Structure 1
Amino acid sequence: MIKILIIFLVLVGGFFLGPLLQGHQGSAVFEFAKYRVSMSFNSFMILELVGLLCLYLIYCLLNKIFNSKTALGNWLRLKSPKKSIKRVEQAQMLLLEGDYKQAAKLFIKSAKGAKNTTLSYLLAAQAQIDNDELIPANQSLEQAAKSCQPNELFAFQLVQIRLQLKNHEYTTARITLDQLLNEKPRNAEVLRLADQLYYEMGDYQAIIDLLPAMYKAKVYSESQLDQFKQAAYIGRIKQLSTNSDAQTLVKWWNEQPRAILNNMAYQKAMANYLTQLGQANEAEKILKSISKLEQKERT
């Protein structure tokens, strides 16, 4: 803006100083409706600048009126809070009907007259994410970011993380999720998103560390959590057997709680992978423990 102002001043200065240096100010003649008006070129430039200034002041006044949150401003902008509320209701109905694309369009339209534009754009972004429209969803999030208030930041971050998961931006999503886990460690949605992210990344140890909080918050039913727990532990055993040496796997196993060490499914997985790693003695110890558990179950 400053550069444009400097260029403008240089041009205006040239118009004034050029004629003065040559000793002739020049002239400007206008003819209209049989009238003839003549003046010096410098006088013409001064009148033009005054006219431009007046136009700028009128523009500022109209801009202030149009952007005001008064009834007049809303009417001039063709923005109606009532229309916005109606569009939101229609969009919510379309969501229930599964028409995510049309719902997102209505949410975006509702933002023009909504008291909370961030909410409208976030709802639009979520509908677009659910419909795998990832580029429009990113654009809706950018619009939401412009008006996002501190009390809306948490909802914004959750929608942003969902979009990042869809885009496989796992590293970026994890930075925000780790922060949210510190701030809201018992929030069910944060835990769900973290669980999804860790599975996508194959970080089974992170899932194992997350499980106690997930059980406390009752993120899923207990039977579902038990299934996730089994998948996480067996996945971790396989991961360690593939990426580490046998000693690392054995050390990790011995550090687990007694309930894990006595779980038959985990014992069988450990014995299987230890055998593959050539640790027959360690595998034999676990197989003996499995036999004892099976005998107890029979009796």
Structure 2
Amino acid sequence: VEKLMSKNADHAEQPVVNYLLAAEAAQQRGDEARANQHLERAAELAENDPIPVEITRVRLQLARNENHAARHGVDRLLEIAPRHPEVLRLAEQAYIRTGAWGSLLDIIPSMAKADVGDEEQRDSLQRQAWIGLMDQARADQGSDGLKAWWKNQSRKTRQQVPLQVAMAEHLIECDDHDTAQSIILDGLKRQYDDRLVMVIPRLKTNNPEQIEKMLRQ
């Protein structure tokens, strides 16, 4: 494929496309030097439309696990093509691999507008990003970092049961059982949910009566 695409690429109707396909074919063979050659030739020919070249560059970087380089690449691409479906798909990969959870949350509305993934996939991504941010808050400042992060979230976010469960579990791991209990109680007051109840046996609080009273109601 690579030879076919690159052989007469300069004289083809779409020389840039041919070089980009040749670059990806070379990368699949594990020949990074040839892949780079084809990519740079495409870049020379594509002065007026750099987006396809930069998309391929990011694809190659992800294939090589050059994840931080890919992240910088998608950041630049999003500035010029914020709703390009392929750019958004690559951004999703790069942000997950580098733990750029805030950036991942930022692109989810654009993913919805560009029809990238379905609603269930985007909701799952959103939860993954929030839990990633929780992990970072806990790693940076323990229980205090978690509580500050939680306080900064919108009410709508704080009312999502999967996040309440994750938050309570993170707090229990930090030995902050009282705050974990208050989050579970807040969730159960809004509506009974087995996912919250399943966390209760792990709680070691000074006032278990509150939970017992709630469960009796």
> If the length of structure 2 is used for normalisation, what is the TM-score?
0.79
1:240 offset after TM fit, Å?
1.9
Q: 2:35 — aligned with what?
A: 137
Q: 2:46 — aligned with what?
A: 148
Instruction: Determine whether 1:233 maps to 2:133.
Output: no
Q: Quick one: distance in 1 between partners of 2:12 and 2:152? A: 55
Q: 1:242 — aligned with what?
A: 139
Larger radius of gyration: 1
Gaps (5+ residues) in structure 2?
Answer: 195-217
Q: Quick one: distance in 2 between partners of 1:181 and 1:220? A: 18
The one of 80, 93, 99 equivalent to 1:202 is 99
1:244 aligned counterpart, secondary structure: helix
Output aligned runs, 1:40-79, within 5 Å: none
Q: Quick one: distance in 2 between partners of 1:202 and 1:129? A: 25
Change (3 A) 1:132 1:256: farther
The one of 154, 167, 171 equivalent to 1:257 is 154
Q: CA RMSD in A?
A: 2.3
> If the length of structure 1 is used for normalisation, what is the TM-score?
0.59
Task: For residues 204-256 of structure 1, give each alpha carbon's deviation from its aligned partner in whole angstroms, at most 9, with x where no partner exists.
Answer: 22212222222222211111111212222222212321233322221111211
Contact 1:121/1:140 (<8 A) preserved: yes
Q: Quick one: distance in 2 between partners of 1:128 and 1:253? A: 47
Number of equivalent positions? 195
Aligned-pair identity in percent equals 34
Contact 1:181/1:190 (<8 A) preserved: yes
Change (3 A) 1:273 1:196: same
Q: Quick one: distance in 1 between partners of 2:107 and 2:138? A: 22
Task: For residues 53-98 of structure 1, give each alpha carbon's deviation from its aligned partner in whole angstroms, at most 9, with x where no partner exists.
Answer: xxxxxxxxxxxxxxxxxxxxxxxxxxxxxxxxxxxxxxxxxxxxxx
Task: For residues 119-159 of structure 1, give each alpha carbon's deviation from its aligned partner in whole angstroms, at most 9, with x where no partner exists.
Answer: 211121133345554333222112223323313x1111110
Q: Quick one: distance in 1 between partners of 2:28 and 2:187? A: 45
1:289 aligned counterpart, secondary structure: helix
- The worse-fitting range, judged by mean Cα deviation, of 107-116 and 189-198 is 107-116
Q: 1:166 — aligned with what?
A: 63
1:275 offset after TM fit, Å?
1.5
Query: 1:189 is aligned with what amino acid?
Result: E
Output aligned runs, 1:181-200, within 5 Å: 181-200=78-97
Q: 2:164 — aligned with what?
A: 267
Q: Quick one: distance in 1 between partners of 2:160 and 2:29? A: 41
Greater length-normalized contact order (CA 8 Å, ≥ 6 residues apart): 2
Contact 2:68/2:98 (<8 A) preserved: no
1:110 offset after TM fit, Å?
3.0
Query: 2:47 is aligned with what amino acid?
Result: Q
- The worse-fitting range, judged by mean Cα deviation, of 195-204 and 161-170 is 161-170
Q: Quick one: distance in 1 between partners of 2:193 and 2:24? A: 52
